[in-house]
Amino acid sequence: MKPDTTQPPKIFDLFASEEPAFELRPFLYKYIVQYWYLYILLLGTALAVAWLYLRYTPSQFEVKSSLLIKDDSESNSSGISEEALFKDLGILKGSKNLENEIQILKSETLMKEAMRKLGLDVEYHSLGRIHGDELYRQSPIMLDSFVHAGNGPGKLTVKYVDDAVFEFVQAESNSTHRFGEWVVVKGGGFKLKRNYPGPAAEGLLEIRFYNIDNQGVRYANRLSVKPLSSYSSVLELKLVDPVPAKGMDILNTLVESYNEAAIEDKNKVSQRTINFIEDRLIYLTNELAGVEGSVQTYKQRNEIGIKVEKGIDIVLDELSMLDQTVAENEVQRSVLNSMTLYLQSNAGQNNLIPANLSAQDGRLTELISAYNEQLLNRERLQRTAKPDNPVLINLNLQIATLFDNIQETIKRVDSRLEETLQKTKEKRGLLTGKIRQAPKLERELQEIMRQQSIKQNLYLYLLQKREETSLSLATAVAGSRVVDPARYNKLPIFPDPKMIYTLALVLGLGFAALLVWLLDLLNDKIRSEDDIRKVTDAPIIGGVAQGDGGIVVSAGDRSAVAEMFRLLRTNLQFINSNQPQHTILVTSTSSGEGKTFIAVNLGLTLALTDKKTIIIGLDLRKPKLGTYLNKSNTGTGISNYLVGQASIQDIIQPSDLHPNLHFIGSGPVPPNPAELLLTEKLRNLITSIQAEYDYVIIDTPPVGLVADAFLLSQFASVNLYVVRHGETRKGMLKLLDELYRQNRLPNLAVVLNGLQAKSGYGYGYGYGYGYGYGDGGYYDESKKKTWWKKLLSKKRK
């Protein structure tokens, strides 16, 4: 059975790299040190952009205010609050829903009202080169009057000249006008006035006009209202604005408008009650005047004086008390009948019901107060809620239920009053029989005066209720109290310099790192041993630094590149220690990767150890060996020998570099190089040379271009594959990996050529620092003994 030759020989197990451990220094150099200018450039650019952003972005300030929402169902500890004093009037009952109050404060309607009060449909801005600043209450010029059609100008540009004159800047031409003078513009006109004590200002001023509704919507969206805690009825209002004074005015005016609206809602019930009483008083005044006229006419016609029999005084007093009870009941029934007619009319449907008119039933008063309160809540909620809002639907159901309960309660109270009135009249009838003996005229007068008393009592009752309602109207208080007026933080919340500069630092370095990563990703040139290991498992036995392109090795030379060739020589000696002959073939993927440079300097390095070394230039297509040895590339050479024009002694030439170093040039370029390499004469040549010399180095054409290296690999004990830093493309290494896996070049090893002094690899770290193969560097003299023991151990196995 033939041995399996698909795998590389075990002699290179020593150089088969394991998974390399992460090394910080190469990583830092690869991605940071060698691209330091990119990091500085992008970081400087990011910081400059951050500075410009901070310089020209208007600062935003946060304005805060806190508002206590009072609960009308609660009273203070003393029990004598204004709400408690007038709660019995039926006007100030019920508690508030905190979420509803938040929605009302954030409503566009309320914000628009605040905008109108402050006149924020006009703004004044100073114009700068990049942007302008708003001159809130500080503009030297103020708008006095402005009239325009629907397509009037959205802004005016003016320039302050002095206290009497300003300049109107237009696209066509500028014009000078006096303050207080009407200036005609397209679609209207305007008049300006000097703002005292506003400061004089240089440069242009811009007067901007806004739609007040749009302003209200914009600021309502920027307003934040939330409770300070879950168990607190104190609301915190926040508004962000570039002008803190403007923000404070908006919050204070908003709270003021909110309280005014709350008081107005409370006064609606009282005002409706007063209107109802006024209508009834007008009607009763006419009736009372008629009754009093009838009494006067009756007494004058019958000449009746004021005298009553003493015997019937007690009966008359008791009868008078009964008459008063009847009158009071009649008044209450009259009020109830009026309320019934009011509720059944269009004015009473879904409108406020006059309160505090019935004193006969406390339940009726509570129902009316609750009904009015729910109507007001629904009206306030409708400003912000849609018709399908669940809270609004629930309120409508409660209002309908309360309305039905009020009507039922009125019927029940009227029925009870009617029953009481009937019993009182029966008792009065018994007393009336006792005084039937009284004169007829006196009895008739008593009946007339009784009607007068009823009307008079009703009139006085309504007067009393009107005064009570007027008093509650005058003493209505808001349902909230300002805890902290509007205030602002001296430091802007936006833009934050620390955050902006930190973001610039992160983005600058991040973009630089991303750019470096992309450059590394797009760079398909070999720059390190790791790049080779990622593509192939072929062992790397050494690296050579960038030289001058010629001979870089000499006796006693201690330069870094010379030391690297010595390390390469040492590794080759260990590899070939058990080989009967030492023939080294040097090839590469393409031309220009330095295979001839490696072959010549490696041969000279071997010759310096008193080893007879010969270099054979078998690159018959593009010979360069003579150039390195200061000889002609087209003189007598191996091509002459292969065609029978010269002998072996004729083509072997001594080198001027060292007595132990000889070479065989390529000779004239033949037309059929591949056929010449297949002749038996070449085998005889190499066999005779191997017998005479300690080391034979064969310089071949690139294996990626022609097949010459494959024809010559049969004579080699080691095949060196040269890869050049910064020149060989990563895609070319696929051929190297294929050759290694298929063992088409036996004993294949890689030499990395052209390392840069600052590449982060090889001698760039300093001689003797981390050059061991085990950790991805090169051979370390301090690890020589250990490495040799490891090699012997593998050989025994």
Please write the tens of the pLDDT for every residue from 202-231. 788 899 888 888 889 999 999 999 998 888
In this predicted structure, which of 75-84, 391-400, 484-493, 518-527 has the lowest mean pLDDT?
Answer: 75-84
pLDDT of residue 376: 82
Mean pLDDT of 293-313: 57
Same domain, 528 and 511: no
Domain boundary among 260, 280, 313: 260
Q: Domain for residue 794, yes or no?
A: no
pLDDT tens-place string over residues 159-175:
888 888 999 998 778 88
Has residue 768 got a pLDDT over 60?
Answer: no
Question: Pairing relation of β-strands 133-134 and 122-126?
Answer: antiparallel
Q: Domain for residue 649, yes or no?
A: yes
Same domain, 232 and 288: no
pLDDT of residue 678: 87
| Paired tokens of 85 | 């004093």
Whether 384 contacts 221, CB under 8 Å? no
Q: Which residues contact 186 (CB under 8 A, 6 or more apart)?
A: 152, 153
Q: Domain for residue 91, yes or no?
A: no
pLDDT of residue 790: 43
pLDDT of residue 503: 95
Same domain, 268 and 216: no
Whether 110 contacts 261, CB under 8 Å? yes
pLDDT tens-place string over residues 146-160:
887 655 558 888 988
pLDDT of residue 445: 62
pLDDT of residue 81: 40
User: CA nearest 566: which of 742, 372, 767?
Assistant: 767
User: CA nearest 782: which of 793, 768, 792?
Assistant: 768
Q: Domain for residue 27, yes or no?
A: no
Has residue 1 got a pLDDT over 50?
Answer: no
Q: Domain for residue 365, yes or no?
A: yes
Based on DSSP, count helices (H) and strands (E) in the chain, helices before strands.
23, 21
Strand partners, 484: 66
- What is the pLDDT of the chain when averaged over all its residues? 79
pLDDT confidence of 565, banded at 50, 70, 90? Answer: very high
Sign of CA dihedral 89, 90, 94, 98: negative
Same domain, 534 and 625: yes
> How many Cβ atoms are within 10 Å of 212's Cβ, its own excluded?
17
pLDDT of residue 502: 94
pTM: 0.56
pLDDT tens-place string over residues 719-754:
999 999 888 888 888 999 999 999 989 889 999 998
pLDDT of residue 697: 94
Has residue 332 got a pLDDT over 50?
Answer: yes
User: To the nearest whole percent, how much of the chain has pLDDT over 70?
Assistant: 79
Same domain, 503 and 416: no
Has residue 299 got a pLDDT over 80?
Answer: no
Secondary structure (H, E, C), 526-583: CCCHHHHHHHCCCCEEEEEECCCCCCCCCCCCCCHHHHHHHHHHHHHHHHCCCCCCEE
Whether 41 contacts 35, CB under 8 Å? no
Mean pLDDT of 776-791: 38
Has residue 200 got a pLDDT over 50?
Answer: yes
Higher-scoring residue by pLDDT: 450, 420: 420
User: CA nearest 86: which of 640, 476, 528?
Assistant: 476
Mean pLDDT of 70-77: 53
Output the domain CATH number for residue 610.
3.40.50.300
Same domain, 373 and 504: no
List the domain range (segments joined by +) for residue 411.
Answer: 262-484
pLDDT tens-place string over residues 599-619:
999 999 999 999 999 999 998
CA distance linking residue 373 with residue 95, whole number of Å: 9
pLDDT confidence of 310, banded at 50, 70, 90? Answer: very low
Mean pLDDT of 519-538: 86
Mean pLDDT of 25-44: 88
Phi, psi of 515 (to 5 degrees): -65, -40
Range among 95-99, 355-359, 690-694, 763-767 with highest mean pLDDT value: 690-694
Has residue 545 got a pLDDT over 80?
Answer: yes
pLDDT of residue 459: 75
Same domain, 320 and 453: yes
pLDDT of residue 510: 94
| Paired tokens of 428 | 């009065």
pLDDT of residue 199: 60
Same domain, 461 and 533: no
Same domain, 354 and 457: yes
Has residue 419 got a pLDDT over 70?
Answer: yes
Q: Domain for residue 90, yes or no?
A: no
pLDDT tens-place string over residues 693-719:
999 999 999 998 888 888 888 899 899
CA distance linking residue 355 with residue 374, whole number of Å: 14
Domain boundary among 260, 291, 308: 260
Domain boundary among 230, 260, 290: 260
Q: Which residue has the tokens 């009393």?
A: 464
pLDDT confidence of 90, banded at 50, 70, 90? Answer: very low
Structurally, how many domains does the chain consist of?
4
Same domain, 50 and 75: no
In this predicted structure, which of 36-40, 108-112, 236-240, 478-482 has the lowest mean pLDDT?
Answer: 478-482
User: CA nearest 659: which of 714, 580, 604?
Assistant: 604
Q: Domain for residue 753, yes or no?
A: yes
pLDDT of residue 253: 93
Has residue 19 got a pLDDT over 90?
Answer: no
pLDDT of residue 602: 93
Range among 103-112, 142-151, 181-190, 303-312 with highest mean pLDDT value: 103-112
pLDDT tens-place string over residues 464-474:
777 777 776 66
Phi, psi of 719 (to 5 degrees): -110, 115
Same domain, 430 and 473: yes
Q: Domain for residue 333, yes or no?
A: yes
Mean pLDDT of 509-523: 90
Same domain, 424 and 539: no
Mean pLDDT of 668-695: 89
